[in-house]
Every structure is written in C-alpha cells, then in structure tokens.
C-alpha cells in the first residue's frame, strides 16, 4: 500500500485576485465534470472557503447548465457530540443551507460520515464508484478535513480529537466560545481523500500562507497534512495573493 506514496506529482497552482475569481475558475472544473458525467460522485467540504464555489454551482444549476439530479455527494467530515443549541452548525445543516436546498439534488444521494458508520464510509464511497472530484479547504496548521498534523498517509475515515488551534479557528461559529466547539469529529482519512480522481483545494487569506508555502516546497512533511497532496496526480490549488505570499520563487 505504501507504494502509492512513493511518487510525487506537480500540484497545479492558480493565484487569483480574490474569492470571486477563485470561485469563477474553480467552478469551471466542477461544471465541466458534471456536464461530462451527469452521475458524478462529488466530495464536498464545509467552511467559508467553498461557499463562493457553491454559489456558482447553484447559479449554473438554475440556468440549466448543469443538473444535480443524478449526482451523489460524500462530505469530508462531521462533528461528534454537537450540543442541541448549535445543531445548526452541523456540517449536514451547512450543506443543506449553502448548496443542497438550492439545487435539484436528492437528499438520499447525499452522504456524511458518522461515528457509527465511519468504518463503512470508505466502502460506501467505493461502492458508489469512487469520488470523481473532491473539494478541500485548508486549516491554518495545514489540516485537510480533520486530518490534523501527524495523521498517517494510510488513514481511512476515522474519529479524531479536534486540536486546540482548530477549535479556536472554529469558535467563530459558536459565539466565539471555544468550549462550545465539539472536541471530536469523524473525518475522511488522507488515504480516502487521495483516492479521489481529481482534487481542488481552495485557500484564502494570510493565515493560510504558511501551509500553502509548505505544500509548494514540494516536500512531504507529516506535520503539514496538506503536503500529502503531493502524492496525487491531479490537484489544482486556488489561492488569493495573501495565501500565496510565502511561496518561495513563485
């Protein structure tokens, strides 16, 4: 299995002026994918980074350029132990609000990992035909999904403890109270993510600059999970000027 991680590839970089340009360019990859394969399997992410992209896909759907009728989706992750006061912060609620309710997708075709099904999630993805196109956000510490620093390349969908830095970053969704952020989540593993046929990563702002610089240093470092993307042959990274500011010789 480790043979999968012996060859490194060149990650494609697209530096854009702002979120609007990122959304415009990255959405074309998704629109082309859905147009060429109407029953595509999409891997989806939550957080602020993919929201402008989702707005472009909603627009394309309303303009009849693409249809989600046959699309199946698998989300990267979900909180464990979310309190009833913040149930609207579940990633399922996020996806319903920011994409699903506005396109012609069957909710029966949308999938999320849960603690009780995490061991079966990879098999569900495989049985569906595998993810054709996966979108990723990026953590300040380089995490992808909830794969925190030190996560093994061989990790499949699993339960994780959320790090302090990630809890602090997500506190804005919990009235700024870090103690209200769940301490656990279930996430696709790095191996699960790398099994997608194509990957699009979106990152904006100066806080993401160090992680992006680590990725484009072209050296795998387990302390920076995003560098695992070097082992995938089709990764497109979309960043703004601030996120690209620390790339050496860019």
Give SS3 for 115: coil
Give SS3 for 10: coil
Q: Choosing from 148, 158, 170, 232, which is the catalytic residue?
A: 148
List, in order, residues 6 or more apart from 186 with CB less than 8 Å away.
77, 78, 80, 113, 114, 115, 118, 146, 157, 158, 159, 160
Q: Choosing from 143, 158, 232, 240, which is the catalytic residue?
A: 143
Q: Choosing from 19, 77, 78, 132, which is the catalytic residue?
A: 77
List, in order, residues 6 or more apart from 165 with CB less than 8 Å away.
139, 140, 141
Is 77 assigned a catalytic role?
A: yes
- d(CA 218, CA 196) in angstroms, rounded, equals 20
CA dihedral 143, 149, 178, 79 (to 10 degrees): 60
- d(CA 142, CA 22) in angstroms, rounded, equals 19
- d(CA 191, CA 218) in angstroms, rounded, equals 19
Q: How far is CA 186 from CA 4, 44, 110, 210, in A?
A: 24, 14, 16, 26
Is 127 assigned a catalytic role?
A: no
Pairing of strands 77-80, 184-187: antiparallel
Reported residue count of the chain is 250
Let me know the angle formed at the C-alpha of 31 by 108 and 50, rounded to the nearest 5 degrees.
Answer: 70
Q: Choosing from 75, 98, 109, 141, which is the catalytic residue?
A: 141
The residues annotated with a catalytic role in the active site are 77, 141, 143, 148
């Amino acid at each position: 299995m480790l043979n999968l991680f012996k060859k490194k590839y060149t990650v494609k970089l697209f530096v854009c002026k702002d979120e609007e340009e990122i959304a415009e360019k990255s959405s074309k990859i998704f629109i082309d994918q859905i147009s060429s394969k109407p029953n595509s399997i999409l891997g989806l992410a939550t957080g602020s980074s993919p929201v402008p992209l989702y707005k472009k896909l909603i627009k394309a759907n309303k303009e009849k350029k693409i249809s989600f009728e046959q699309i199946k989706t698998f989300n990267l992750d979900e909180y464990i132990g979310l309190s009833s006061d913040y149930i609207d912060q579940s990633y399922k609620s996020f996806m319903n609000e920011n994409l699903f309710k506005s396109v012609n997708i069957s909710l029966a075709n949308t999938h999320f990992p849960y603690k009780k099904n995490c061991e079966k999630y990879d098999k569900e993805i495989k049985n569906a035909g595998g993810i054709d196109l996966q979108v990723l956000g990026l953590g300040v510490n380089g995490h992808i999904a909830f794969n925190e620093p030190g996560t093994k390349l061989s990790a499949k969908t699993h339960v994780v403890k959320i790090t302090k830095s990630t809890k602090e970053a997500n506190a804005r969704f919990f009235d700024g109270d870090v103690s209200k952020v769940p301490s656990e989540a279930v996430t696709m593993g790095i191996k699960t993510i790398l099994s997608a046929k194509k990957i699009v990563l979106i990152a904006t702002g100066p806080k993401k600059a160090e992680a992006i610089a680590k990725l484009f240093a072209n050296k795998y470092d387990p302390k920076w999970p995003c560098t695992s993307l070097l082992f995938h042959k089709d990764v497109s990274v979309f960043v703004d000027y601030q996120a690209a500011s620390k790339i050496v010789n860019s």
